[in-house]
Amino acid sequence: MTERFPGYDVLAKRDTPSWNDASRRVIDHRLALEDEPRFLTQDEWRLLVALCDRIVPQPPHRPRIPVAVLIDRKLQQDQGDGYRQASMPPLRQAWRQGLHALNEEARLRFGGNFVELAPGQQDALLELLARDQVRSEAWQGLGAKSFFKGRALHDIGSSYYAFPESWNQIGFGGPASPRGYVRMDFNRRDPWEAVESKHV
């Protein structure tokens, strides 16, 4: 598979004027996270890892982005988004109920826990959630579609793109302070930005 930004490593900018001390501290903390749950139970953790793997599958030839870890730490710190849909329970409650309901739905539809299902069955189940076509009563007060779009997709997607390895994949230069960006028009690149391959 051809990389869009071959040879690019955003961490090479760590000690350059592109990043300041605050940026370095935040990224160093993310890179040092241990791949284990601090908030979720082991069963919830395995389910979250399986869910993340279906929403953002990661190829084996790249370093793995610890999506589930970032979500677990968000839950541990009870770090909300600064807003919440009125119909959605608070962050921790939404995730706990959503994971439980997802597993219940898997049992009703396919006769097994979500982590035990084949990838195609897992995907089919997630499509049902996205359409709000669920049978389990465990979704009451949360809503399958609301959880899937408002929590699962939101938190998994934002966690994936909060990690340096994903920045390498899209050519993102990392935090914009203190250097910032100058060439803001379409198809214009600042000299310190990644160069996209012409052979993708």
- Separation in Å, CA 82 to CA 10, 132, 143: 28, 26, 21
- pLDDT per position in the chain (200 positions), as tens? 578 999 999 999 899 888 899 999 999 999 999 999 999 999 999 999 999 999 999 989 888 999 999 999 999 999 888 888 888 899 999 999 999 999 999 999 999 999 999 999 999 999 999 999 999 999 999 999 999 999 999 999 999 999 999 999 999 888 876 777 787 778 788 877 888 888 75
Residue 162, Ramachandran bin (φ over 0: left; ψ between -120 and 50: alpha; else beta) = alpha
Copy the structure tokens of residue 150: 């408002």
Q: How far is CA 181 from the centre of its chain?
A: 25
The pair of three-digit structure tokens given for residue 38, joined into one six-digit string: 């601090």
Closest by CA to 68, choosing from 26, 103, 40, 27, is 40
Please report, as a single letter, which amino acid is at residue 54. Answer: R
Q: What is residue 200's predicted lDDT score, i.e. its pLDDT?
A: 59
Can you list the alpha helix ranges (DSSP code H) found in the chain? 21-31, 42-55, 67-76, 91-110, 119-130, 144-147, 154-160, 164-170
Long-range Cβ pairs for the range 174-177 (8 Å, 24+): 174/10, 174/13, 174/18, 174/19, 174/23, 174/27, 175/19, 175/20, 175/23, 175/26, 175/27, 177/19, 177/20, 177/22, 177/23
CA distance 3 to 1: 6
